[in-house]
Amino acid sequence: METSYDQHYIDARETLLDAVEALGPHIDAAILVGAQAVYMHTESVDDSFAVAPFTYDADIGLDPERLEDSPAIVDAMCRAGFRLTLPPGTFMKDGGTQVDLMVPAAAGGSGRRGARLGVHGNKAARKVHGLEGTLVSHTRRKISSLVSDEDRSCILKVAGPAALLVAKVHKIGERLEDPVGHRQEQLPKDAFDIYRLLSAIDTAELAEEFGLLRSHKISSSVTSEALSKFRSLFGSRSGIGTTLLVNSVRGLEDPNFIIESSVALSQDLLQAIAQ
Amino acid sequence: MAIKAVGARLPPRWLLLSREREATGWSPQDATHIADAIWELRGSDGLSSDIIVEVKANLVEPRMVDRVASQLKALSNSRHEQAGAIPVCMLISTYLSPLTRGRLTEAGISYADSTGNIRFAVDRPAVYIEIQGADRNPFREERPLHSLKGGRAARVARGLLDYRPPFGTRELAGKTGSSAAMVSRVSSLLEPDEIVTKESPRGRIVSVDWEALARRWAMDYDFASSNALTTWLEPRGTRALYSRLRNTGIRYAVTGSFAGYRFAPVAEPRLAALYVDDPDTAAQSLGLRLAETGGNVLLVRPFDPVVFERVEYDDGITFARVTQVLLDLMTGPGRGPAEAEALLAWMRDKEDIWRLPMTNTT
């Protein structure tokens, strides 16, 4: 089916492909995370929703253990036309689309914000709590340009849906806990991205991936934390996550259906994981 | 009429006379009931007997015989007290079934009906007449229909909508699993408004104004109240429901907005409506959960299995016939009527596509 994409999403995909090219030999350390990774899993249900896939940026997770010593990440990015606009980890190209390089907090060394990446320094990537599962669960996928008649593509690791769900729950949780330090306007969209994953992925499949995340030392505790947050955010009709989700579809979808559907899918998942 | 029919069969020089009730000077003490007629039977030897007659224009069912008998017996007893002789009881009706006649005989009540069934038994003067008339009620199907309510009328109405005239009454009866009498009754209801036109009173149906018929039927049908509706949730949306429907073994037919949308898209449908035989079984088989609010699937137990007749298949999905969908939208909630108007426009334009030829295969 011919899908018409939002221009920001098309631009964000171009920037992702630019960044992957720039990272060159580091490609094996890179894992696609964030909204673009979510949409890789939810293509099958995209046209079921009135809310089209939408993102302004490209989020790339890095596994420090798989990074090469050269080229230096910041240098390589700058040579490809990116500028390190907001250290650590935020690069931007002229034209405005942003790339965020991130390292799971548990693998990022001792610093508070910047990941300690040895020869690559402390400014190349930002430490993010909640991304740990993406090191454990990912698959290589072909990522193609969304520009029509453009056949540019790359093969990149894409984080698994449960790992992405854990990361999104942590993101929403942190922003809600610290409303002063974080911008809130992205939260409804993040809630809808979680709902997309719940709708698109078979519950048993998600539950199995959660089992994998919980069995690995590096992702075990963030996964358990995320499940408890997920329960309180999305497990009931009155949960804040459910409310954020309804806000994201205001005027576009039947809010009652979205509430019932999200709560049913969330409860199904929690039940499947508990079994 | 009955008095003549019985009188004509009496022996020579016997008489059967109708008495004026007032002229008898008899007023029953039980004033709650007065006999419909009192006859007098006079034998050739001068003996006479009164006949208390009850007339029932409507069908007398076997279970009603007890009541009729006790009414007649009460009148007979009251007459007996006043006049001395025990009068004979008699029931007259348009039609008396074999079972009803049997019960009347057991109760010792004479009878006559307009098809010629007569049993007339009097002890003094002694006479016995028994004549066989019809064993099947010839008036039964001739009762005029006043509406298109109910499954039997709906089956004929759907047939009139679905098939392209001309066709014979029996032909349509065969196609719709109806009796020819029912087709005639529905046709008779619709002929005065020229919704159905016949070539002659007993001839073939030569034209059906399908749009007028749909509007007429919509007066007697309501999607939400004629059928039994329950609302369910498929949390992954109607797309997930459709992929289950492609593999299900249960009998179903999609109606409503999703079915109308195929021909006349108005707005993106949200609520899937499915006819199913048993909503609970269907919900279980399709993985649906009952929803008080926010449901996206309507399971509909149909008023009649006619909704499963002449279904249409598209992309692995079974849809109710467009004529059924039209009625459901016309009388349905929400955007239904607006969607029905769009569907009507499509149907006016594509009559040659959706109206079925009546082949002689039945």
Angstroms from A203 CA to nearest CA on chain B: 11
Cα distance between residue A185 and residue B358, in whole Å: 63
How do the pLDDT tens digits run along chain A, 275 residues long? 445 788 889 999 999 999 999 999 999 999 999 999 999 999 888 777 777 788 889 999 999 999 999 999 999 999 999 999 999 999 998 877 899 999 999 999 998 899 999 999 999 999 999 999 999 999 999 999 999 888 999 999 999 999 999 999 999 999 998 877 777 888 999 999 999 999 999 999 999 999 999 999 999 999 999 999 999 999 999 999 999 999 998 888 889 999 999 999 999 999 999 98
A 163-202 residues with CB < 8 A to B: 199
- Give the residue from A234, A237, A261, A268 with the most B CB atoms within 10 Å of its CB, the best one to mutate: A261
Q: Give the domains, in start order, of chain B with CATH numbers.
A: 2-131 (3.40.1350), 141-219 (1.10.10.10), 223-352 (3.30.460)
Indicate yes or no: CB of A260 within 8 angstroms of CB of B239. no
Antiparallel, parallel or unpaired: β A30-33 and A57-62: antiparallel
Indicate yes or no: CB of A262 within 8 angstroms of CB of B294. no
- Whether the complex's predicted ipTM surpasses the cut of 0.90: no
In Å, what is the CA distance from B263 to each residue of A207, B249, B258, B319, B333? 41, 26, 10, 12, 19
Token pair 């009527």 is found at B337
In Å, what is the CA distance from A75 to each residue of A69, A79, A101, B60? 12, 6, 14, 104
φ/ψ region of B212 (left if φ > 0, alpha if ψ in -120 to 50, else beta) reads alpha
Token pair 């016949």 is found at B198
Angstroms from B240 CA to nearest CA on chain A: 9
Angstroms from B285 CA to nearest CA on chain A: 17
Indicate yes or no: CB of A256 within 8 angstroms of CB of B233. no
Cα distance between residue A207 and residue B207, in whole Å: 62
Here the tokens at position B216 are 């007429």
The mean pLDDT of B158-187, rounded to a whole number, is 95
Q: Does the pLDDT at position B31 exceed 80?
A: no
A 32-71 residues with CB < 8 A to B: 45, 48
Contact list, A203 vs chain B (CB under 8 Å): none
Indicate yes or no: CB of B270 within 8 angstroms of CB of A268. no
Q: How many residues comprise chain A? A: 275
**Helical (H) or strand (E) element with B208:** strand B205-208
**Bond preceding residue B98 cis, omega within 30 of 0:** no
Q: What is the per-residue pLDDT across B255-310, written as a single tens digit (0 to 9) for each?
A: 999 999 999 998 888 899 999 999 999 999 999 999 989 999 999 999 999 999 99
Catalogue the E-assigned strands of chain A: 30-33, 57-62, 82-86, 90-93, 98-104, 126-128, 138-144, 153-159
Q: What is the per-residue pLDDT across B191-205, written as a single tens digit (0 to 9) for each?
A: 999 999 999 988 999
* Phi, psi of B7, deg, nearest 5: -55, -40
Does B243 contact chain A (CB < 8 Å)? no
Indicate yes or no: CB of A261 within 8 angstroms of CB of B235. yes
Residues β-bridged to residue B255:
B273
Question: What percentage of chain A reaches a pLDDT higher than 90?
Answer: 82
